[in-house]
Structure 1
Amino acid sequence: MPITPEQQAEIDAQRATPRQTLRAVSEGMEAHLYNAYPVLDHGFVRVIDYMGDDSAICQAARVSYGKGTKSVQNDEGLIRYLMRHWHSTPFEMCELKLHVKLPVFVARQWIRHRTANVNEYSARYSILDREFYIPQPDQLAAQSVINNQGRGEALTGAEAERVLEILKGDAARSYDHYEEMISDDGKQGLARELARMNLPANIYTQWYWKVDLHNLLHFLRLRADSHAQYEIRVYADEICKLVADWVPFAYKAFEDYRMGGAALSAGALDCVRRMLKGEEVTAENCGMSAREWRELQEVLEG
């Protein structure tokens, strides 16, 4: 269960007390503010605060007074130009603060993006809840035989059941020992900061994560990609929906030029030019490695 009835009541109370402001407001993001959107079995993503909108990007690019806009069409065209030519600074003028509940092993992958401000729930001061990520059966997969960091075919039948039982049993047993170690019922009890070392990597943690739009889009380009690990990709997919409503012009440009576009090396671009001239370009005469040639073919074939 991602949130409790008490937490939902708190969210309802926050949404029931709007405040007047002179600052730029994104109506799309206002609809999402404070709401918790479930991810995985116990996780969620919710917007705590944001700054700026599409017009703020244009205002920064033009360094102008007021909204900084000439027309909606001009704003959209400017944002697409900025995205197309990798002018990133204006996108840094918008910021987003998220409250995320996620498994520890996902958090450790997420934190590799070192361009955000993070404050995580402390297991030194507080006791973690008995909540663990247990994959759905269709997400249990064997190691890929062609990719050292990816998944292969899904486990089935008795093998899938065996793995699920191990995951559930180990998580429950580790938490039982965690509770036993910190208990002060007739014992000294181990310090929480030490007892937490025994908890499994699939236990849930929470954090506030604040990032500017430029670095957020970089995060989404990598983590919402089909090659990203499923458990972090579903969080990125949920965040994409929020960003699309927050800064629709910027997100559409991001979809076109980053998510849907492709960067070509000088060698790959030369191959494409040769193809356009009618020359037969093959793996043997392309001048690239076998892997580069294969990747170019994937881009061209879609």
Structure 2
Amino acid sequence: MAAAEPETDVKFRSDVDVELVKAAASDADVLWAARVSTKGESSLAEIEADPARSRGLINFLMRDRHGTPFEHSSMTFYVSAPIFVFREFMRHRTFSYNEESGRYRRLTPVFYVPGPDRKLVQEGRPGKYVFTDGTAEQHKLVAEATRESCRQSYRAYLEMLEAGVAREVARTVLPVGLYSSMYATCNARALMNFLSLRVRRDDSAFPSFPQREIEMVAEKMEAIWAELMPLTHAAFEANGRVCP
């Protein structure tokens, strides 16, 4: 995180935070759910006794798109990212969300500014375009213009608050580059659907073209999930990263 701006303590970042708050998610959850249809209740000892069979069953479920066994899990993530990322995130209505509120608290002056590795220039037409790096002058322009705009908007926000204007009205001047935070809860199937759309991978069965900032969030969520459910994650990758 960059050093505080002296005028209004404005800060600028180019990263995101993702933390696992709590989870009830394991490969065993998938196996129990799948085997109840043919064997009734299963024990953990049965699952651990034949790991190769368990791996094969998870791969079969993923390959043939038997999706419901992957719903018997739960993960809650804390996410801190720019507001424009959350507006994309909340298109995924299989998640449950609770976001910090600008009606009830004074918003912290932390804003997003694209980092030097962010590709800036769009070339081509929608559905066919690609992004390229941009020039040093373009990066300088983006950084300076973003910083000045955010400083100015936050000054206006503070002026209204100090004049007694309600928070829910004063916040209207703030840009979508402002950082917000939320809890997002999902099951493994919902997460796979999210990852299939929000992470760009050449080995995906269906190409996706996510905005880089939401992809940064998705990559961190995937790394956490891969540790919780390694067999399920491996099957997801082996079968083209298609949500079952």
TM-score norm. by structure 1 comes to 0.68
Aligned counterpart in structure 1 of residue 193 of structure 2, from 218, 227, 231 = 218
Query: For residue 164 of structure 1, what is the aligned residue in structure 2?
Result: 143
Question: Would the alpha carbon gap of residues 104 and 257 (structure 1) be closer, same or farther in structure 2, given more than 3 Å must change?
Answer: same
Query: For residue 50 of structure 1, what is the aligned residue in structure 2?
Result: 23
Aligned counterpart in structure 2 of residue 95 of structure 1, from 59, 74, 78 = 74
**3-state SS of 1:100 partner:** strand
**3-state SS of 2:240 partner:** helix
1:191 equivalenced with 2:166 (yes/no):
yes
Q: Return the index of the structure with the highest Cα Rg.
A: 1
Contact (CA 8 Å) 1:140, 1:160: kept in 2 or not?
Answer: no
User: What are the Cα deviations for residues 182-221 of structure 1, in whole angstroms up to 9, with x where unaligned?
Assistant: 11xxx4x111011111100100000000001101111011
How far off its partner does 1:151 sit?
4.9
5+ residue gaps, structure 1, are 3-39, 262-302
Contact (CA 8 Å) 2:20, 2:78: kept in 1 or not?
Answer: yes
Aligned counterpart in structure 2 of residue 232 of structure 1, from 202, 214, 219 = 214
1:176 equivalenced with 2:155 (yes/no):
yes
**3-state SS of 2:176 partner:** coil
After superposition, where does 1:2-151 map in structure 2 within 5 Å?
Answer: 41=14, 43-63=16-36, 64-67=41-44, 69=47, 70-147=49-126, 151=130
Task: Report the Cα distance in structure 1 between the residues aligned to 2:78 and 2:132, rounded to whole angstroms.
Answer: 33
Task: Report the Cα distance in structure 2 between the residues aligned to 1:126 and 1:151, rounded to whole angstroms.
Answer: 39
How far off its partner does 1:42 sit?
5.0
5+ residue gaps, structure 2, are 3-12, 202-208
Using CA pairs below 8 Å that are at least 6 residues apart, which structure has the higher relative contact order?
Answer: 2
How far off its partner does 1:92 sit?
0.1
TM-score norm. by structure 2 comes to 0.84
Aligned-residue sequence identity (percent) comes to: 32
How far off its partner does 1:225 sit?
1.7
Task: Report the Cα distance in structure 2 between the residues aligned to 1:234 and 1:161, rounded to whole angstroms.
Answer: 22
Task: Report the Cα distance in structure 1 between the residues aligned to 2:117 and 2:230, rounded to whole angstroms.
Answer: 33
Question: 1:171 is matched by which residue type in structure 2?
Answer: C
Query: For residue 227 of structure 2, what is the aligned residue in structure 1?
Result: 245
Aligned counterpart in structure 1 of residue 131 of structure 2, from 152, 166, 187 = 152
RMSD: 1.9
Q: How many residues align?
A: 219
